[in-house]
Amino acid sequence: MFETLRVNDASGVPVWIQIRNHMLFLIRSGQLRPGDTLPTVRELAVRLGVNYNTIHKVYQDLETDGLVLSGRGKRSTIADIDREALALPDSPVDAVIGELVRVVRETGMTREDALARIGEALATLED
């Protein structure tokens, strides 16, 4: 099931979002069902050739969204899912913006500071 997952370092989409979106696809398509056991973080990291922390972030994010159940010393499993929670962003940019908003909120950064930083970063596109 995860054999079809390939990470594209040149895509411009962060690796963890590529993996998360693939897992969402597997859930939405019914290939992963409630109660199914996921590979361990270490197993999936080795299989994909990515950092352990990358997979850990994916699993944590899916758990935060209520899509995955996990516990210390337990294998992660697919939760009994509300289908509304499975909508994928329209584009990779939307996925990154959604993650940015989450991080801004969690770190307590002000909206003004976040917008200023985004403006500075986007200004480099105009050069």
Domain 1-83, CATH class in plain words: mainly alpha
The helix/strand count (H/E) of the chain reads as 5, 2
Q: Are 81 and 67 contacting, i.e. CB atoms less than 8 angstroms apart?
A: yes
For the stretch 32-88, pLDDT in tens is 889 999 999 999 999 999 999 999 999 999 998 888 998 777 899 999 876 665 665
Task: Write a three-state SS string for 53-73.
Answer: HHHHHHHHHHHHCCCEECCCC
- β-strands 77-78, 68-69: how paired? antiparallel
From the number of C-beta atoms within 10 Å of its C-beta (0-12, 13-18, 19+), residue 39 rates as middle
Could you tell me the pLDDT band of residue 92, with boundaries at 50, 70 and 90? low
Q: pLDDT tier at 25 (50, 70, 90 boundaries)?
A: confident
Domain ranges of the chain: 1-83, 89-127
Q: In the chain, helix, strand, coil percent, each to 5?
A: 60, 5, 40
The pLDDT tens digits for 8-22 are 887 778 899 889 888
User: pLDDT value at position 39?
Assistant: 94
The count of other CB atoms within 10 Å of the CB of residue 44 is: 22
